[in-house]
Amino acid sequence: MKKIKIISKVLIALMLIFCACYTILFLCAKYGSKIDIENSNSIYMYDMDNKSFYEGNNGTKKWIKLKDISKYLINATIYSEDKNFYEHNGFDIPRIIKSTLVNIRSNDLTQGASTITQQYARNLFLTFDKTWERKIKEAWYAFKLEAQYSKDEILEGYLNTINYGNGILGIENASEYYFNKSAKDLNLAESSMLAGIPKSPDNYSPLNDEAAAKKRQKEILRAMVNNGIISQETMDETLDVKLTYYGKKENLNLSTLMYYQDAVIRELQDLKIVSEDSIQQEGLKIYTNLDIEAQTSLENAIKNNLEDKDEMQTAAVMINPDNGAVIALAGGKDYSKSQYNRAVQSKRQVGSAMKPILYYAALENGLTSSTTFLSKPTTFSLGNGVTYSPSNYGDIYPNDKITMALAIAYSDNIYAIKTHLFLGEDTMIKYAKKMGITSKLEANASLPLGTNELSVVEFTGAYSSLANSGSSVKAHLINKVEDGNGDIIYEFKNNKKKVLNKSYTYILSELLSNTYDTSLKSYTAPTCASIAPKLTKKYAVKSGTTDYDLWTVGYNPDVVVGVWTGYDDNRKLSSKEYKYSKNIWADAIEGYLRDKEAKWYEKPDNVVGVLTDVETGKEATNDSKLKKILYYVKGTEPGYKSKTTKEKTTQKTTSN
């Protein structure tokens, strides 16, 4: 009996402590700083002309009242997401216990128990991490929402900010995007389809996978039947309704634009300059480098070339080489079908597109456009009994000496490896770092053949130092960030640093313009000859091919464009697929520069052009089969010594 009294007293004490703690928490939540649900975490993005292209955490900031949303949609949402929404205080304890038991029994964590309030709290603020601290804060926000707002207000906020797939946030935006109508006019079939998307926006958008979306719609209608909202007959009739999807946004209907927006948020996260308070109170204004003209050109190029390639993917970026501004970016073919941003999240082997870094290093270390190496099947001894036997594409070799000019045009692998080993395996890494590559590169014999993996943004950014005649610039999407009061909390500083020699970048750019010069065809053809008919301006360009990755990166003084194509599952590529990255590159850069003045680099004073026999590297003669003006730093050009001797002889004769 005595033990029972003690236990009773302990339980009462614990209950009183719990009630006291709950009361304190409730009062703090109720009368603390109020969450502004219509403005919290509002994000406004502006392009390079300060024109808005994204407004608010709820897409285009179309906030509508609960009374203006179809009752069908409201009921479908509640009974599919949180049927006890109007009964609990933000946390459905019985549901949490039940889902925990199910997860334990099944040894799985797929059963969730988040309420509408919890989901809203999670989406109301930018999620920069997935730590326990973050989860505790989300729970606190949910508690505050319940203390400060009515259930109808919470539901209204949730429906105005939830993700409906394809970059669409908020029910009014979703209704207009999918069905070209206001949310108040949605019928049951449309409502049950839309209500199913938020559980997994990538998988349940009917534009991504209509079969999966239809299955989800059936689950929602079944939940409505089980809760007495509709009859079985109504459910059957609704499932038979054939839905027609609109699939267009009000403006800027670019399927790749969300990749740019996604990359902006990722960059904002990496900058670590935004406090939660600034987001909660007034939101953010983000001024980006987006050039809608460039983004449109990039998207058109992707669509025109990959429209019939269902599974092949791409990642592409366009950068202003003068300051590193990312003016266009695509992380895939279509954001509505795949939200994986390959431009910033994926790293792939870059293949021979790595060679310009090697050849710049070679030029700066005494080699010239005329330097020759023997190219034939070769096994290199790397020491300690290790050998390396690279091959040229298609096992095509001249079996003779070739010049650097032809080695670049033909992308000769044997020449590249010989150059690399001649300079030393660490040399190329040193120059890659100078040019802005921060990823770890392995100092090995195969480095010039692009066996290391890099992201499209990082690798294309490194080419900027060649395109701007020698300065390292940081590739970036964000120029400036302001809080809602207009106070600047971040501004990009262009710390342009001279890292390369202008004379050698000029010479290399000229050499890279030969990769599509069809007049240089000999025992093989220049690697980019296939896109020569598309090019109306002069460019420096290099392609890269591995068994699984296709790259094309190139530039002129105005823009650097990098394109990768391949398969997400690392499927081996066929030779028929090698054309896609080159064609996307050509169409994108030509489309962007179509109405712009053609530009090229001014020749430095200490550089001289010489009509050269491109096969031998000597001054061209009437017998030369392949001849072209190649460029050299004065004193290194073909015939320089003989000219100098002749000049001295002439001077001596004149003085006598």
pLDDT of residue 656: 39
Average pLDDT over residues 337-356: 94
pLDDT of residue 337: 80
Q: Which two three-digit tokens encode residue 149?
A: 């707002």
Q: Do 551 and 544 meet the contact criterion of CB atoms below 8 Å apart?
A: yes
Q: For residue 166, give Cα distances in angstroms to 61, 198, 204, 255.
A: 16, 11, 10, 8
pLDDT of residue 258: 87
pLDDT of residue 128: 44
DSSP code for 119:
H
Q: What is the pLDDT of residues 616-630, one digit of tens each?
A: 999 999 999 999 999
What confidence tier does 510 reach under pLDDT thresholds 50, 70, 90? very high
CA nearest 419: which of 363, 501, 346, 477?
Answer: 363
Of residues 91 and 118, the one with the higher pLDDT is 118
Lowest mean pLDDT among 136-150, 263-277, 612-626, 636-650: 636-650
Which of 80, 81, 267, 458 is flagged as catalytic? 81
Average pLDDT over residues 142-169: 84
Res 485 pLDDT > 90: no
Report d(CA 471, CA 321) in Å as an integer: 9
Report d(CA 427, CA 450) in Å as an integer: 15
Q: Do 336 and 325 meet the contact criterion of CB atoms below 8 Å apart?
A: no
Question: Does the structural domain 295-593 have CATH classification 2.40.50.100?
Answer: no
Q: Provide the 10 A C-beta neighbour count for residue 376.
A: 11
pLDDT of residue 60: 45
Average pLDDT over residues 474-493: 91
Q: What is the pLDDT of residues 40-98, one digit of tens each?
A: 667 889 999 999 887 755 444 578 999 999 999 999 999 988 888 888 765 655 555 55
Q: For residue 586, give Cα distances in angstroms to 153, 189, 532, 533, 560.
A: 52, 45, 9, 10, 12
End-to-end alpha-carbon separation of the chain, Å? Answer: 134
pLDDT of residue 105: 54
DSSP code for 325:
E
pLDDT of residue 289: 98
> 195 burial class (0-12, 13-18, 19+ CB within 10 angstroms)?
buried
Q: Which two three-digit tokens encode residue 401?
A: 């000496």
Q: Provide the 10 A C-beta neighbour count for residue 6.
A: 10
Lowest mean pLDDT among 212-221, 268-277, 513-522: 268-277
Q: What is the pLDDT of residues 158-181, one digit of tens each?
A: 898 888 887 788 899 899 989 999
> 47 burial class (0-12, 13-18, 19+ CB within 10 angstroms)?
buried
Residue with tokens 């050998």: 387
- The dihedral built from the CA positions of residue 250, 254, 258 and 263, taken in this order, carries a sign that is negative
Instruction: Please report how the helices 151-161 and 116-124 are oriented relative to each other, as an axis angle in degrees rounded to 10.
Output: 50
Domain assignments of the chain as residue spans, ordered by start: 61-249, 295-593, 607-655
What confidence tier does 252 reach under pLDDT thresholds 50, 70, 90? low
pLDDT of residue 97: 55
What confidence tier does 456 reach under pLDDT thresholds 50, 70, 90? very high
Res 17 pLDDT > 50: yes
Of residues 41 and 529, the one with the higher pLDDT is 529
Looking at this protein, which amino acid is placed at residue 157?
Answer: G
Report d(CA 71, CA 187) in Å as an integer: 9
CA nearest 419: which of 377, 358, 366, 378?
Answer: 358
What confidence tier does 39 reach under pLDDT thresholds 50, 70, 90? low
Report d(CA 82, CA 11) in Å as an integer: 32
CATH number of 61-249: 1.10.3810.10
Active site residue 352: yes
pLDDT of residue 246: 86
pLDDT of residue 21: 61
Report d(CA 64, CA 170) in Å as an integer: 9
Which of 114, 278, 297, 352 is flagged as catalytic? 352
DSSP code for 333:
S
Average pLDDT over residues 618-646: 86
Q: Do 619 and 639 meet the contact criterion of CB atoms below 8 Å apart?
A: yes
pLDDT of residue 640: 77
Range of 111-125, 161-175, 294-308 with top mean pLDDT: 294-308
Give every CB contact of residue 474 below 8 A, 6+ residues apart in sequence.
324, 436, 461, 495
Q: Which helix (H) or strand (E) holds 373?
A: strand 372-375
pTM attached to this predicted model? 0.80
Res 647 pLDDT > 90: no
DSSP state string for 406-469: HHHHHT-HHHHHHHHHHH-HHHHHHHHHHTT--S----STTGGGT-SEE-HHHHHHHHHHHHTT
Report d(CA 227, CA 121) in Å as an integer: 26
Of residues 422 and 284, the one with the higher pLDDT is 422
Mean pLDDT of the chain: 86
